[in-house]
Structure 1
């Protein structure tokens, strides 16, 4: 039988464990707490009295039954309680998240193996969206083919995953040479490897680059799995890795009408599992590093080593993005850039936009659930 204590109750679980559950947690998670239509929590735990305690608690083979002081009765399946119970030093299983998947590292020779999905197949076969988002979760990059030469086509494939996420570049941006560029991308110059928009407080998650024209000489695209490089840095240069995970550095984007600033860690660590969860790296949007000058003696060697490793031939993938292709990639995992191209040698036009990673994970969960 459950043992009623001051702040919670103790009961024996089916596996023999002695489990403890807080009264407020139990009342807050009564099955009746959620609105049947919206699935949002409709119960207000703040309205409960101080020192809440169960009046009666009983146990049968399948469930815990509680009667509360106001007469409300709750029933909790033991299988559900077992799922949420946290042993001393253990981890709560939680809901379980199918969108938390192991990253699959890739290297310079990955181009032939990039997962490819045709535009027509994606827009006519919703089941393929689950496959597409799974690849983006696992590898952080995929290539769409046979894209129509329209703005609408790009928006349409973005909306298969989520809502287009505006940035300080607007809802979409055009990458082509301009007479008065506000960004190095809008020139024919080379672009160093970078992640997009670290001056924003929260940089965009998923990036789409739709190649509409590419007849110019040069301008090969550069891509690298930066989290794989970060893991190699951790193994080979642990002191550098620690500097880049501990230090917030300033980024800034300025035009006549904008002055966007934020501080980011160059390598981000997942606090739950200690794994590398993201990278923020951009030399052309780095502000003046403002750490103490003596600290620069340690910071610059770490910063340079990481940058040089990303440029190493074993990691750096180079290819020509062709008209009708759209490269889609995780902006917090994949660093990208471009070789210089010859100005006037031919047209080169890419259109880009963003969708948040949270929407990608949501779409993956829903699409996969609908398949079962």
Structure 2
């Protein structure tokens, strides 16, 4: 729609009580009205008390618009408000705006909880007063939620309305908060160690450790007092313990007729824990109490790095492993668990990698893609894709290896870092690790609090980490 046609249309829609704001309104409307769902802009309404220095800008139903430099970039539809940003209209449903109010009356400043329900919002809610100055939008409502006074004002920043971020964790996200992919060389250089004393009592050192855990997925605590209870103290510094049928904490040591290969002296290949549960633990801790046997070295790998390599080198395989689920099971006399999940679990919106799910010791038979028959060609492609991924994480150049010494504890992201253990000689010496889990939610909360309270310690510097 061109300028002339827009101006003519606006004049036709005007009455003796209304006139077009200005030709600039017509220009704005002409740019935006190419979309059929964008209504005509606001009109001046003449009133007996009209004063040239303060004109009342109203819609046909008499909504007052506070005059500002940006008054021509806001207008009402039947159930929505439009803001013009860089010649592009932003459509904001009125019920959505009312629901998004964060004023102290709508969100208690102490409990941080809402004081109203979305279902309380009137279905035909309308504003009676609007102010938009280009940076902030304010609205008073004509028919607000019952119980709110006529003075209640909802306010939103322009940045929030243009680019809303609904996930609380994403609001404070910065480019250096994402995972830093690593192989053996980088981990040898950047491995992060923190003393038990600093981890427990020094908030700055603890924050640096948490930033490294978030980015690398793997850190170490050293100089831990000789006590079985220390693993709980280390874990609860981050968040509450995750209780499972193994207990709130557990022991990893050789036992006869073990129901888990971890409780033997055999080689244990790369895997992640408890993939058969509905919500696998987010983070795992292993505190070494004894390790005098020959062998028994711990191995770690970054599955995100392997996944990224597959995405770049074999995108069709990457897609297959992100779409088809594998089954994981734990089937014993006292406990029965089963779940299906893809090896590469992606964000449903951004398609970014969220988790890797990989645990061959607990994998069940391959589920069919349609729930009925297994296609030979499909199974062959799936097996080949899994083998390609396995080859990458098993690579020596991708593996970080060390023998945990008594008094050290490893903390790692169980949804990213694969871990393994070499065979050891149980006839001489002993090997005893105390373990614990903490959920992902607890760590996301801890990361956010550390970043908010200690921003300088949170800043990432790869050269000094």
Normalized against structure 1, the TM-score is what? Answer: 0.92
Determine helix, strand or coil for the equivalent of 1:318.
strand
Is 1:6 the counterpart of 2:78? The answer is yes
- The Cα of 1:161 is off from its aligned counterpart by 0.8
Determine which of 120, 124, 134 is the counterpart of 1:47: 120
Is 1:98 the counterpart of 2:176? The answer is no
Maintained 8 Å contact 2:95/2:123: no
Match of 1:351 in 2: 434
Moved more, 51-60 or 354-363: 51-60
Determine helix, strand or coil for the equivalent of 2:127.
coil
Taking the aligned partners of 1:345 and 1:143, their CA distance within structure 2 comes to: 27
Maintained 8 Å contact 1:99/1:364: no
Match of 1:22 in 2: 93
Determine which of 159, 163, 180 is the counterpart of 1:83: 159
Match of 1:278 in 2: 355
Equivalence map 1:215-294=2 (5 Å)? 215-291=292-368, 292-294=374-376
Taking the aligned partners of 1:103 and 1:363, their CA distance within structure 2 comes to: 16
Equivalence map 1:147-166=2 (5 Å)? 147-166=224-243
* CA 273–45 in structure 1, closer or farther in 2 if over 3 Å, else same: closer
Taking the aligned partners of 1:290 and 1:272, their CA distance within structure 2 comes to: 25
Determine helix, strand or coil for the equivalent of 1:156.
helix
Taking the aligned partners of 1:251 and 1:45, their CA distance within structure 2 comes to: 39
Match of 2:419 in 1: 336
Bigger relative CO (Cα 8 Å, ≥ 6 apart):
1
- The Cα of 1:17 is off from its aligned counterpart by 5.9
Determine helix, strand or coil for the equivalent of 2:273.
coil
Maintained 8 Å contact 1:129/1:160: no
- The Cα of 1:239 is off from its aligned counterpart by 2.0
* CA 209–26 in structure 1, closer or farther in 2 if over 3 Å, else same: same
Match of 2:150 in 1: 72
CA offsets, 1:68-96, max 9 Å, x none? 2245344455xx4322224xxxx534554
Match of 2:15 in 1: none
* CA 7–297 in structure 1, closer or farther in 2 if over 3 Å, else same: same
CA offsets, 1:96-132, max 9 Å, x none? 4335722111112323531011111111112322211
Taking the aligned partners of 1:129 and 1:57, their CA distance within structure 2 comes to: 47
* CA 214–112 in structure 1, closer or farther in 2 if over 3 Å, else same: farther
Moved more, 17-26 or 292-301: 17-26
Taking the aligned partners of 1:108 and 1:335, their CA distance within structure 2 comes to: 13
Taking the aligned partners of 1:247 and 1:50, their CA distance within structure 2 comes to: 42
- The Cα of 1:158 is off from its aligned counterpart by 0.8
Maintained 8 Å contact 1:55/1:66: yes
Match of 2:253 in 1: 176
Taking the aligned partners of 2:383 and 2:395, their CA distance within structure 1 comes to: 18
CA offsets, 1:160-195, max 9 Å, x none? 110001123221121100012110000000001001
Determine helix, strand or coil for the equivalent of 2:171.
coil
Which runs of no fewer than 5 residues in structure 1 stay unpaired?
A: none
Which runs of no fewer than 5 residues in structure 2 stay unpaired?
A: 1-70, 144-148, 369-373, 456-465
When the two chains are superposed, the root-mean-square deviation of aligned CA atoms in Å is: 2.0
Match of 2:267 in 1: 190
Moved more, 341-350 or 150-159: 150-159
Match of 1:369 in 2: 452
* CA 186–366 in structure 1, closer or farther in 2 if over 3 Å, else same: same
